[in-house]
Structure 1
Amino acid sequence: MGYALPQDFVAKMERLLGEEYERFMQSYDAARFYGIRVNTLKIAVESFEHISPFSLRKIPWAQEGFYVHEEARPGKHPYYHAGLYYIQEPSAMAPVELLDIQQDDRVLDLCAAPGGKSTQIAAKLAGTGLLVTNDNHPDRTKALAKNIELYGVRNAVVLNAVPEEIARTFANYFDKILIDAPCSGEGMFRKDEDMAKQWAKHSVEKCVLMQRDILRTAARLLAPGGRIVYSTCTFSPEENEAMIAEFLEQDSRFHIVPIGEDHGFAKGQGEWIRTLTDEAGKSFEETTIQAVNGTGRLWPHRLEGEGHFLAVLQHDGTLASRDESLEDTSGRKKKEVRGSKASAQDQKTKLTSDEQELVQQFMQDHLITALSGEAVRYGQHVYMSPVERERLDGLKVVRPGFFIGTLKKNRFEPAHPLATALRPEEVTRWIHLSSSDDEIIRYLRGETLTLPEDRVQRGNESVPAKGYALICVDGYSVGWGKWLDGMLKNEYPAGWRWT
């Protein structure tokens, strides 16, 4: 380890871990573990194993996760640009696995940027249900939106809001909620030495205040019988077992679903909070202390991954129907709320009949699949929204749905996210490039390609070669190109290009 750990942190861990302390400290001198998670929205796990350009070793707690060597540099392969996998720290794959996502679930990722767990949720939904993914930091939502788009997610809404704002129109709405809570980050010191250097600034006390508010609001957002998974990447008992204990004692509708000790996971440490108190200064009940032993800890000296804490909170189902979430107690719809964070995406409107015709004509000429959702226009951008429009009123919306294109004067231009979400069998015209050929690198760099007409594949002889074509690498979409007279105009966005 080429840097010094904060001495207060070292002293705390020695006190907490006792005889395990030496093994824990030795983990900081061990090699880190690197992982990728296969994006099953675009490719099956077995298919990726067959074509993988680097060696893979299964991550035991993640169905689609694999260890890879650092030297493999998976971010420097065309498959990364095709969204076939997400580069993700192995332990970070565990929280979504515990959500137990089922098809057609409504899922909220409350603290989502940069979006790794959101793309994992989307893959498990397999195009069904709804994903609302949110982060309250405006700059971080840029990476969040890009990852949603790169990985071909069609059923997501991206928000930039605080939880209380979301609760105004989404109360009692979500079947599953993930809280990857902001924390002091102690479990990431080995991965990111800057986190160790900044540890004193990200005080446990400040983090506890944020976590408390987030948990309480999440309880209001959850549908009857729903599930919350709370996770942190810190070792601090105040942010972990004590936070969950306090929540359980304040809301008796929830209980812990024990995580178990498979795959090297460890139990939560109820004993560590015996001398701590809740917000009101009251000590925790013995039953609560025992209950939090059902939470889980991922220790870097016990498994091949970084430090994490996990808690699965199950609701007992005693709330009113989630369909009443837009009504007050008198049965009337709540008044529209527009605060200082109303949508930054220009005014939201329905498409005019002429605009609808432009979009429909493009779809008819280029797609052989139907897109689900309601077409809405934000400024000149057109989205297929998977959620009722009134739910988004008063919220700062980064993406109201699946971004399919932009309305220009008398024409419709397809968006890059439309391409990344499509498969060759869903379009009328496509071009295959090989991952082993320089052509794909040139395309990803934004260059114009010279291609003969017979490279433009069509499912029907009546389709002309001229026009937009879906560009694919080894059969998996990466973007648009526009073919005309032997030249492929490159439509790959400048901000996405290979560098």
Structure 2
Amino acid sequence: MAAQLPSTFIERMKELLGTEYEQFADTYKQTPYGGIRVNTLKITVQELLERSPFELQPIPWCPTGFYTEDGTRPGKHPYYHAGLYYIQEPSAMAPVELLNVQPGDRVLDLCAAPGGKSTQIAAKLQGQGLLISNDLHPERTKALAKNLELYGVRNGIVLNESPDRIAAAFPGFFDRILIDAPCSGEGMFRKDEDMVKQWEPGTPRKYADMQRDILRSAAEALTPGGTIVYSTCTFAPEENEGSILEFLASHPQFTAVPAGGAGSFSPGLGELPEAARLWPHKVKGEGHFMAVLRHDGSSAAQGDTGNADTALPVSVHSKRGKAPMAAKAPGGRGDGGRGGKGGRASGKGSAPKGREPQGSGEEAALAAFAEFCREQLGWQPDGCPVMFGDHLYISPLPKEALDGLKTIRPGWYVGHVRSGRFIPGHPLATALKPSECCRSLSLSSGNGEAVSYLKGETLAIPEQRLSVKPESTSKGYVLVCIDGFSAGWAKWQEGMLKNEYPAGWRWT
């Protein structure tokens, strides 16, 4: 690497690693490892391995993760734009595996942007339960929301809130919480020279203070018996073992359980051997720290926050149940509450900033959506409808649960109403399967037509190439797929496919 490592950092690492330091230092002369993680919301691991245009080698700690060869550009293949895999640093795939998410769980990804770990959690939920992905920085939530949309997540909510406000809104609510904590980033020095330039001797202590507050809030939001996984991409003990030991000392109802890790993880330092460290001279990946914190199930864990089941609407606590799509829109604010930001941050048809939802017209909008579902899908999604202006979301939570929170996405964005007609949104398409649409079309990734679609071009498509359900006509919205996997919308009429792929998402 070109950037010079800080001398204070070097001295500390020599003290931590002893005779292993030279091996560690040699990793800065090596090319960082690249990886992809299969999006099992859309494709199985075996299917991707059979279709993959590039060589893949398994990552030992993530069954859906694979190393890519140096020079491979997975972001330049149509499969990336179809959301079949997420490009992710290999070590960063480990924390979610330790979280042990099960379908139906209520999960909070507290520091989620840009969304890699959230998409990994969503794949494990398999459309069941609830995922709330949060980030404190407004600009970063744009990438977070777009990634959840690209990867076809239907049961996700995106917030832009502080951890303490989330804990106050959802006391004792989440089964599992991931804290990929803000940190000094020492484990990423060889990948990101800017992190080296920003580092100062006092940086780890500054982040440790921040981490302590985040852990405290997470404890308040966790249900008794739940699990927190805390991770960083730094080597600094005060941000890792130090933060966890301080948390455990003030929260006796929590225990650090062994992280394990397929023989690839090293134990935590000092008094916390249950934690795990990924050292770049011992694994094919960057530096990471992880700790698994298990709650003992006692109600005292929530302190004075009270019983979570009385703090939220009853339907929120129906963990594995489905809220039916209402025949009428719920009254009141549809943007997630005071200060909400229900407007879209990516894709087509952004809602105007600051626009308030209008009570009148919501019933007509839902009727228009129901008509679209009958004519174009043949079914209607379950969930709680949330309107923001003319924009409609299907949420896993009733709107009241998000009151007062800065909400970027209250749920699955399905589209907007214009002149009384429902216009489907791009995230609706990316989360659908061909069998869920009245019309679909599969474009080939191998002959250039998929790339032409991704560039926004109009295509000449003969009617016989369309897959049309019985009792449906060929004319109308078509779910365009790449080798059978959904990518976006188009309209077919008289042999021409009018492209509906959003300009901000197009192939460049």
TM-score w.r.t. the length of structure 2 is 0.90
Q: How does 1:245-394 map to 2 (within 5 A)?
A: 245-260=245-260, 262-270=262-270, 289=271, 292-319=272-299, 321-326=307-312, 342-345=339-342, 346-348=355-357, 352-394=362-404
Alpha-carbon offset, residue 477 of structure 1 = 0.5
Match of 1:180 in 2: 180
DSSP 3-state at the match of 1:377: strand
Match of 1:487 in 2: 496
Say which of 437, 442, 453 aligns to 2:452: 442
User: Bigger shift: 451-460 or 5-14?
Assistant: 451-460
CA distance in structure 2 between the partners assigned to 1:404 and 1:261 by the alignment: 39
DSSP 3-state at the match of 1:171: coil
Say which of 467, 470, 480 aligns to 1:471: 480
Match of 1:415 in 2: 425
Q: Deviations over 1:239-263 (max 9, x none)?
A: 0001000000001000011113633
RMSD (CA atoms):
1.8
Q: How does 1:127-146 map to 2 (within 5 A)?
A: 127-146=127-146
Match of 2:95 in 1: 95
Residues paired across the two proteins, number: 469
Q: Deviations over 1:425-484 (max 9, x none)?
A: 110001110000111111101111111222222121x31111110000100000000111
Q: Does 1:497 align with 2:506?
A: yes
Verify the 8 A CA contact 1:223 1:321 in the aligned structure 2. Answer: no
Q: How does 1:33-182 map to 2 (within 5 A)?
A: 33-182=33-182
Match of 1:283 in 2: none
Where do 5+ consecutive residues of structure 1 fail to align?
Answer: 271-288, 328-335
Structure 1 residues 310 and 488, CA gap change in structure 2 (3 angstroms): same
CA distance in structure 2 between the partners assigned to 1:299 and 1:373 by the alignment: 43
Alpha-carbon offset, residue 348 of structure 1 = 4.9
Q: Does 1:452 align with 2:462?
A: yes
Kindly provide the amino acid, as one letter, of the partner of residue 355 in structure 1.
A
Q: Deviations over 1:89-121 (max 9, x none)?
A: 000000000001111100000000000000000
Verify the 8 A CA contact 1:171 1:326 in the aligned structure 2. Answer: no
CA distance in structure 1 between the partners assigned to 2:452 and 2:263 by the alignment: 43
Alpha-carbon offset, residue 4 of structure 1 = 1.3
User: Bigger shift: 37-46 or 6-15?
Assistant: 6-15
CA distance in structure 2 between the partners assigned to 1:76 and 1:405 by the alignment: 28
Match of 2:233 in 1: 233
Structure 1 residues 340 and 394, CA gap change in structure 2 (3 angstroms): closer
Kindly provide the amino acid, as one letter, of the partner of residue 498 in structure 1.
W
Q: Deviations over 1:327-364 (max 9, x none)?
A: 9xxxxxxxx9x999720224356763322221001000
DSSP 3-state at the match of 2:472: coil
Kindly provide the amino acid, as one letter, of the partner of residue 485 in structure 1.
E
Match of 1:401 in 2: 411
Alpha-carbon offset, residue 379 of structure 1 = 1.5
Verify the 8 A CA contact 2:336 2:399 in the aligned structure 1. Answer: no
TM-score w.r.t. the length of structure 1 is 0.91
CA distance in structure 1 between the partners assigned to 2:336 and 2:480 by the alignment: 42
Verify the 8 A CA contact 2:181 2:232 in the aligned structure 1. Answer: yes
CA distance in structure 1 between the partners assigned to 2:373 and 2:38 by the alignment: 29
Verify the 8 A CA contact 2:374 2:380 in the aligned structure 1. Answer: no
Q: State the identity as a percent.
A: 56
CA distance in structure 1 between the partners assigned to 2:257 and 2:472 by the alignment: 55
Match of 2:205 in 1: 205
DSSP 3-state at the match of 1:72: coil
User: Bigger shift: 81-90 or 482-491?
Assistant: 482-491
Kindly provide the amino acid, as one letter, of the partner of residue 490 in structure 2.
G
DSSP 3-state at the match of 1:264: coil
Where do 5+ consecutive residues of structure 2 fail to align?
Answer: 300-305, 314-332, 343-354
Structure 1 residues 56 and 176, CA gap change in structure 2 (3 angstroms): same
Alpha-carbon offset, residue 391 of structure 1 = 1.4
Verify the 8 A CA contact 1:183 1:202 in the aligned structure 2. Answer: no
User: Bigger shift: 7-16 or 155-164?
Assistant: 7-16
Structure 1 residues 418 and 339, CA gap change in structure 2 (3 angstroms): closer
CA distance in structure 2 between the partners assigned to 1:261 and 1:315 by the alignment: 21
Match of 1:223 in 2: 223
Structure 1 residues 114 and 339, CA gap change in structure 2 (3 angstroms): closer
Kindly provide the amino acid, as one letter, of the partner of residue 468 in structure 1.
Y
CA distance in structure 2 between the partners assigned to 1:168 and 1:246 by the alignment: 22
CA distance in structure 1 between the partners assigned to 2:168 and 2:308 by the alignment: 13
DSSP 3-state at the match of 2:63: coil
Structure 1 residues 192 and 394, CA gap change in structure 2 (3 angstroms): same
Q: Deviations over 1:55-86 (max 9, x none)?
A: 11000100100001132200000000000000
Alpha-carbon offset, residue 202 of structure 1 = 7.7
Match of 2:193 in 1: 193
CA distance in structure 2 between the partners assigned to 1:457 and 1:261 by the alignment: 45
DSSP 3-state at the match of 1:412: strand
CA distance in structure 2 between the partners assigned to 1:403 and 1:297 by the alignment: 38
